[in-house]
């Protein structure tokens, strides 16, 4: 990754973080589902199921926001590098004449 453009690195890191966030949300959801299965009454069972549903919704929303922010940052960086490259003056080689 040393020679990769920074915008590619930003996107790769965001993708990895997205996977981690979604994995954590799914494991937390599974925990709440198992607690719902062990619940004694229907009210507690419904509460745990709702917690599981909300946990996954919040996790996916956070992952989506992270991905959008990373895409915006990567696009902004790529655009600024293109603009900087276009702004550089083109140097013409100087021909030396023999005396």
pLDDT of 73-90, one tens digit each?
999 988 888 888 888 777
**76 within some domain:** yes
52 in a structural domain:
yes
Domain total for the chain? 1
Distance CA 74, CA 77 (A): 5
Structural domain boundaries, residue 65: 6-87
pLDDT tens figures, 5-37: 888 899 999 999 999 999 999 999 999 999 999
Place 4 in a pLDDT band, splitting at 50, 70 and 90. low
Task: Write the secondary structure of 30-81 as one string of H (helix), E (strand) and C (coil).
Answer: HHHHHHHHHCCCHHHHHHHHHHHHHHHHHHHHHHHHHHHHHHHHHHHHHHHH
Q: Answer yes or no: is 55 within a domain.
A: yes
Q: Is 60 a member of any domain?
A: yes
């Amino acid at each position: 990754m040393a020679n990769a453009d920074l915008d590619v690195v930003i996107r790769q890191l965001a993708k990895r973080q997205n996977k981690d966030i979604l994995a954590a949300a799914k494991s937390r959801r599974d925990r709440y589902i198992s607690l719902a299965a062990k619940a004694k009454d229907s009210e507690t069972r419904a509460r745990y199921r709702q917690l599981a549903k909300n946990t996954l919704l919040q996790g996916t929303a956070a992952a989506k926001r992270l991905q959008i922010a990373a895409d915006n940052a990567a696009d902004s960086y790529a655009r600024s590098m293109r603009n900087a490259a276009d702004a550089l003056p083109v140097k013409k080689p100087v021909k030396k004449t023999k005396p």
